[in-house]
A and B are shown apart, each in its own frame.
Chain A
Amino acid sequence: MSATQLPDLLGHFGRFGGRFVPEALIGALDELSAAHQAALVDPLFIKELSELHRTYTGRPSIITEAKRFAEHAGGARIFLKREDLNHTGSHKINNVLGQALLTKRMGKKRIIAETGAGQHGVASATAAALMGLDCVVYMGEEDTKRQALNVVRMKLLGAEVVPVTQGSRTLKDATNEAMRDWVTNVETTHYMLGTVAGPHPFPVMVRDFHKIIGEEAREQMLALTGKLPDAVLACVGGGSNAIGIFHAFIPDASVRLIGLEAGGRGVETGFHAATITGGTRGVLHGTRSYVLQDQNGQTVESHSISAGLDYPGVGPEHAYLHDIGRAEYRAITDAEAMAAFSLLCKTEGIIPAIETAHALAGAMKIGQELGSGASLLINLSGRGDKDVHTAAEYFGMPV
């Protein structure tokens, strides 16, 4: 089977993916799989979603060439796919609108979501408000502090935000709580998972809702430059914005696909969230992929300045693309990301999300490696309004 035809019927991407969940969830996952498969070929669904994207999300998102930033990237041409301009400020809206429509089709009235940076929580709360669904968002207590503004946004949108006090109090633990809620309320509730991880069908379904990013960008690049880019770059937390922009390019063998993981204080220090670069094969949150774990199979806490990348797992399709060598994954440290963050602000007048800044730092490196004449496409996955506090603290600016 070629890489674009995966996963198989059980959700496997090679030896990754699948379902590792309590039996109580199997019925709901089967129902969701069926709803997803039916929606994919239903002209009504396709029309409804694309209409929403046109009139609500603001799609297609534009491409901006970052000429001044490119001077710091070896002179390569740098193109930014502006997912930050989407309604709610990141790529996350693509997925939640799709899942919210599916939720209605399944006759469910309540959605739950996990969130790290709060971007997926905000997007979920937005979709819930738009479609009249009840919404509960689980968020690690640590993250509710780091991303206090997003907590208020979710509440303004009518969602209930539940701070999670278990474990490391971050995204991993919020995901655990969301799964416990789902096991208990599965009859009435849809779990709106926010990335391409989790049990089948989430990795393939969330990918399908995000692949529009790459489909648009591929055409836009051909129109703008007359050729395909030499490399496509994106930051990787769970991997949704990355798979979204990668997917349309998988058959284009000449295009390098490069995922940038959160290297935290450096992979060698152990304080990082670079799951593919620094992790091992294992099972977490219902799927087999790479995991940060110890020798007993206990998940190890991840570390990153970026709440949205601070996750010890990664989507199974990325694990697969890594294994077959179709995509490359590198780690970017907090310091490198923050330098790129600052540079984009000052050279292009765009404040990116700190997650996204990891991709920008990657572009600076890859640009140096490839030199002038190369063309790089970067997924600008989100805007940095939510990160103003973290940035102010990092750069020592009084607020």
Chain B
Amino acid sequence: MSTALEELFATTRSERAILIGYIPAGFPTQEASYRIIQAMIDGGVDAIEIGFPYSDPVMDGPIIQAAADQALANGVGAKEVFETLRFAADLVPSVIMTYWNPIERFGVDNFAKELAAHGGSGVITPDLTIEESKEWIAATDSHQVNRIYVVAQSTQPERLQNVTSQTNGFIYAASLMGVTGLRTSVASGAHELVARIRAVSEVPIAVGLGVSNAEQAAEVAGYADGVIVGSAFIRAVQEANSLDEGVAAVRLLAESLAAGVRSQKR
């Protein structure tokens, strides 16, 4: 059986890349996050990545840190994360992105089970190394959800083979050595990394970290199967004077990113 995410890639991959939008659960509030997710989808986002807000997000830059802090201040926990997942997954294929400790605390098998029960396709685990994954691999296999690992430019060839062979749904290629945030250009190493992954894996590849405008999205869509945008959406909400304004800005940004992504036909 394949997940909704795998089906999405299967149907679009030969035509174009997909656009994946990230938002932490409960940001800026639980209700408002649903409107933002809806706006992303209305604007052309193909899949949603819901962040599990965490107290010590070492892979995240200031924009996502601030959003996560706000969500945590709102009291967001596993329950709200799964509720948000349910909302998004009813509309488009959706995944959770979470640091490892909240999964371990929730119960590894239970997390995969609840994910599946809420319609989720998979989980991105940015700080779970393949060496520590035994329990997670068993849990995701047993509940038939995707485990999405991140690989970096510094990942050595043998390790790249090993990590990608355990990954399904898509492989998350980190475009640069660094944390999430806005960048003026997509790192040149991203293209090369995608080529290296292609040489060892058939699994779709999505590129994330620092993609924030239509030009960059189009560039990445030229060689990857998916484009992940997070900080740019969050900044649009943070900079708006009201929620209505923020929702409108998110929709506009999604439209522009989607146009960028779709400009690259196979």
In the assembled complex, the Cα of A167 lies from the Cα of B56 at a distance in Å of 8
CB of B109 to closest CB in A, whole Å:
15
Q: With A20-B127, A183-B59, A293-B101 known to touch, is A27 a contact of B106 (CB < 8 Å)?
A: no
Q: Which of A18, A166, A288, A295 contacts B65 (CB 8 A)?
A: A166
In the assembled complex, the Cα of A12 lies from the Cα of B235 at a distance in Å of 40
Q: Are B127 and A26 in contact (CB under 8 A)?
A: no
B177 within 8 A of A: yes
Interface size on B, residues (CB 8 A): 39
Q: With A167-B55, A297-B101, A298-B55 known to touch, is A180 a contact of B132 (CB < 8 Å)?
A: no
A186 within 8 A of B: yes
Stretch at the interface among A95-103, A243-251, A279-287, A369-377: A279-287
In the assembled complex, the Cα of A27 lies from the Cα of B177 at a distance in Å of 12
B129 within 8 A of A: yes
Q: Which of B100, B152, B155 contacts A20 (CB 8 A)?
A: B100
B174 within 8 A of A: yes
Q: Are A24 and B177 in contact (CB under 8 A)?
A: yes
CB of B96 to closest CB in A, whole Å:
13
In the bound complex, residues from chain A placing their C-beta under 8 Å from that of B104 are: 282-283, 288, 297
Q: Which of A24, A167, A284, A293 contacts B152 (CB 8 A)?
A: A24
Question: Which has the most chain B C-beta neighbours within 10 Å: A26, A166, A167?
Answer: A26
| 21 contacting pairs across A/B (C-beta < 8 A) | A19-B129, A20-B128, A22-B59, A22-B126, A22-B174, A23-B152, A24-B152, A24-B153, A28-B154, A167-B55, A172-B56, A180-B58, A180-B179, A183-B178, A285-B58, A296-B77, A296-B106, A297-B106, A298-B72, A299-B55, A299-B56
Q: With A184-B177, A282-B101 known to touch, is A19 a contact of B156 (CB < 8 Å)?
A: no
Q: Besides A18-B131, A22-B58, 17 other CB < 8 A contacts?
A: A20-B100, A22-B126, A22-B152, A23-B129, A23-B149, A26-B155, A27-B156, A166-B69, A167-B56, A176-B56, A183-B178, A184-B179, A286-B127, A295-B77, A296-B102, A297-B105, A298-B72
* Chain A interface residue number, banded: 20 to 34
Interface of B toward A, CB cutoff 8 Å: 54-59, 61, 65, 69, 72, 77-78, 100-106, 126-129, 131-132, 149-156, 159, 163, 174, 177-179
CB of B136 to closest CB in A, whole Å:
11
Q: Which of B55, B59, B101, B179 contacts A283 (CB 8 A)?
A: B101
CB of B201 to closest CB in A, whole Å:
15
Q: Are A180 and B61 in contact (CB under 8 A)?
A: yes
CB of A88 to closest CB in B, whole Å:
28
In the assembled complex, the Cα of A176 lies from the Cα of B179 at a distance in Å of 11
Q: Are B126 and A10 in contact (CB under 8 A)?
A: no
In the bound complex, residues from chain B placing their C-beta under 8 Å from that of A296 are: 77-78, 102, 105-106
In the assembled complex, the Cα of A23 lies from the Cα of B179 at a distance in Å of 12
A388 within 8 A of B: no
| A:20-67 near B, CB below 8 Å | 20-24, 26-28
A179 within 8 A of B: yes
In the assembled complex, the Cα of A325 lies from the Cα of B260 at a distance in Å of 60
Q: Are B178 and A26 in contact (CB under 8 A)?
A: no
A393 within 8 A of B: no
In the bound complex, residues from chain A placing their C-beta under 8 Å from that of B101 are: 20, 282-284, 291, 293, 297, 299
A219 within 8 A of B: no
A348 within 8 A of B: no
